[in-house]
Structure 1
Amino acid sequence: MEELSMDRSETTCVEAILRDELARGNRALSGVAPVISHLLENSGHALVSDAIVARLRGMLSDVARQLLGAGLAPHLRGQVNEDAADQLSAALAGNSSVLNHLYALAMEGHLTERLEQRSSLDPVLSPLLQELIASDRPNVAEIAMNALAAQSRFMQGQRRMNLPVGELPADLFLQALECFRKAPLNLNPAQVSSGVSALKARYDEGVGRLGLFARLIGSMRGGAVVALELNHSGLALFVSAMAALTRQPRDLAILACHQRQAARLALSLRAAGLDARAIERQFVLIEPDEMLPTGIADLRAERAQELLAASDVSPSFHYDAA
């Protein structure tokens, strides 16, 4: 009985430490949107580097220009009003859900490049994606091929600091359109209405990069856990699998791979079913200097999931939680 009591006491202590670390990480995440809103002009936040701010500026401007150009004739789409583009970019930056998503994408691009430089992980074609392309299930092979092309476009877009508006998740796509409608741009209402209609007609979430990776993970069913070996799956499949297996927004799974988020990463991997040794392998790749949280090996996967679900993180990161 005394031994059982000791085990419970140790488990409670481990959970308290993890909850505290998770709370600190969540406080850092909750400050991302307001900090970025101000620091698009400056720098200095631990989670916001100059490179990330530059990518954010580029993506915001690119999305704004696409929205403005959607209602114009094709030969006029490169001639959008610069003042209107700046105003719409600022309006999009004022939407914390849109801003947090673009921040997560910028972080994903940055981390993917860092993994390529530091660990020689291919940023586009991972071994697991190769295996899925070679699948004897034609539908899976087709999705994997499309995902490969989408990932290649994403990495090119990150280097150019742009993002196709059709790559936004459905909720954020609609929020971006609402920003376009409501921003005081002094545009012809017919041009705005025409642009919104044209964008809606072309939009298909399932053929976007995020939709394709989600479909791939779904096609793997119980075997999706193999995507949690980062050096085999690549970052894009890795975070998609971690999000699906732990029922978290994908953006949070991306941000769990950044410094100061060790508790969220460890709890996520434990909740997804990895043991301590497998978790440590991912830490070595993602953040070699980060220590694995104490006691993670003794935590049940179900309890790790409960701790994640109970953590209080910025609501704007939960736009796609359903």
Structure 2
Amino acid sequence: MATDKNNSHAGAEARIPAVEAALKDALVRGDRALSGVPPVLSHMLATSGQSLVSDAIVAKIRGMLGSLAEQLLAARSTAGRQPVEPREIDHLSDRLANDSAVLSYCYALAMEGQLAERLEQRTSIDPILSPLLQELIASDDASTAELAMSALAAQSRFVQNQRRMDLALTELPADLFHTVLKRWEVHDRSDPAIAPAIKRLKASYDEGAGRIGLLARLTASMRGGILAGLDLEHAGFAMFVSALARLSNQPRELAILACHEHQAVRLALSLRAAGLDAATIERQFVALEPAGRLPSDIGAIAPERASAMLSNSNTRNAG
């Protein structure tokens, strides 16, 4: 019996290089697809005639870019100044769309909204108030409960804004917030009202008070309990991707995109890097996409190797 066990263990170890090579190849293909998203989106924003699903995503992105442009131009306004013209909004929105980082972020948010909506329709996972968030709101720790309530309010605003195709400037991560301000500044250097408007916007900006910042702080406050965030049905989609991003050491946008049906390898490796076993990973796949295929032998890859593979992939995506 011992010999049989040893042979079985040796056979499993012998398969690991082949399994890892197959996963790497699939991850590279997935990365290649992700890297092609910004130019494809740029083309789609300028044209029409796409599929229904693509039209929905593009419409949300266009709406979010227009929302950002309108807020910037409104911030410039002072007493006696003319209202913002639709033509100005369109021109600035087009300028923002030329920035691949801004475009990719809006795409990730649109995907988050769409995936959360699908989960609600298919599995009744509430996009705003999940069981885990309810537990945190009821926490005996006052700071945790307060943080959870703030996250709940922010998530509610996000869902409403997605339905209206809006995006608040204050919800942008710090690097993108400053990128958007720079794009606006370059857009019309001749307008003397822009510089003071930018100064006011910077003074009122607080990254930690935005939805992404609140979710990041909330998941971090859970310490070892953060693994509960990887139970999609219990945590809800917003907390799930925030916990996944933290535990797999990835940008949250990539954690969102990993949940797309064509990014199964990234999702499996992310969950493995977070320490989940194959059976638990499979349950998350079933919740996200009943027909989704879990990469075979994912359990043969050590969490450290999964993390290293993702790290190399993230470097490629960042480049």
Query: Could you say which TM-score interval applies, normalised by the shorter chain?
Result: over 0.9
Distance 1:258 1:200 in 2: 34
Which of 17, 32, 35 is equivalent to 1:30? 35
Mapping 1:82-231, distance limit 5 Å:
82-183=86-187, 185=188, 188=191, 190-231=192-233
Mapping 1:310-321, distance limit 5 Å:
310-311=312-313, 313-315=316-318
Distance 2:273 2:49 in 1: 34
Which of 61, 64, 89 is equivalent to 2:66? 61
**Secondary structure of 2:167's aligned partner:** coil
1:43–1:5: structure 2 CA closer, same or farther, 3 Å change rule? farther
1:7–1:199: structure 2 CA closer, same or farther, 3 Å change rule? same
Shift, 1:7, TM fit: 3.4
Structure 1 gap ranges (5+): 317-322
Letter in 2 for 1:284: V
Shift, 1:74, TM fit: 7.2
Letter in 1 for 2:261: Q
**Secondary structure of 1:260's aligned partner:** helix
1:19–1:53: structure 2 CA closer, same or farther, 3 Å change rule? same
CA RMSD of aligned residues (A): 1.9
**Secondary structure of 1:73's aligned partner:** coil
Residue of structure 2 in register with 1:320 after alignment: none
Letter in 1 for 2:307: Q
Shift, 1:81, TM fit: 2.3
Shift, 1:50, TM fit: 1.0
Distance 1:129 1:267 in 2: 26
Letter in 1 for 2:110: A
Letter in 1 for 2:211: R
Distance 1:20 1:204 in 2: 40
Paired residue total = 312
Letter in 2 for 1:246: S
Q: Percent identity?
A: 54
Distance 1:163 1:75 in 2: 27
Residue of structure 2 in register with 1:279 after alignment: 281
Distance 2:292 2:54 in 1: 19
Letter in 2 for 1:256: A
Distance 1:96 1:76 in 2: 32
Residue of structure 1 in register with 2:24 after alignment: 19
Shift, 1:3, TM fit: 6.4
Letter in 1 for 2:283: R
1:65–1:74: structure 2 CA closer, same or farther, 3 Å change rule? farther
Does 2:87 match 1:42?
A: no
Letter in 2 for 1:239: V
Per residue, is there more helix in 1 or in 2? 2
Distance 2:172 2:223 in 1: 25
Distance 2:205 2:59 in 1: 27
Mapping 1:294-305, distance limit 5 Å:
294-305=296-307
- Contact 2:12–2:300, Cα closer than 8 Å, also in 1: no
Letter in 2 for 1:65: E
1:81–1:18: structure 2 CA closer, same or farther, 3 Å change rule? same
Moved more, 55-64 or 289-298: 289-298
- Contact 1:167–1:205, Cα closer than 8 Å, also in 2: yes
Shift, 1:288, TM fit: 1.2
**Secondary structure of 1:20's aligned partner:** helix
- Superposition TM-score, scaled by structure 1 size: 0.92
Distance 1:313 1:99 in 2: 18
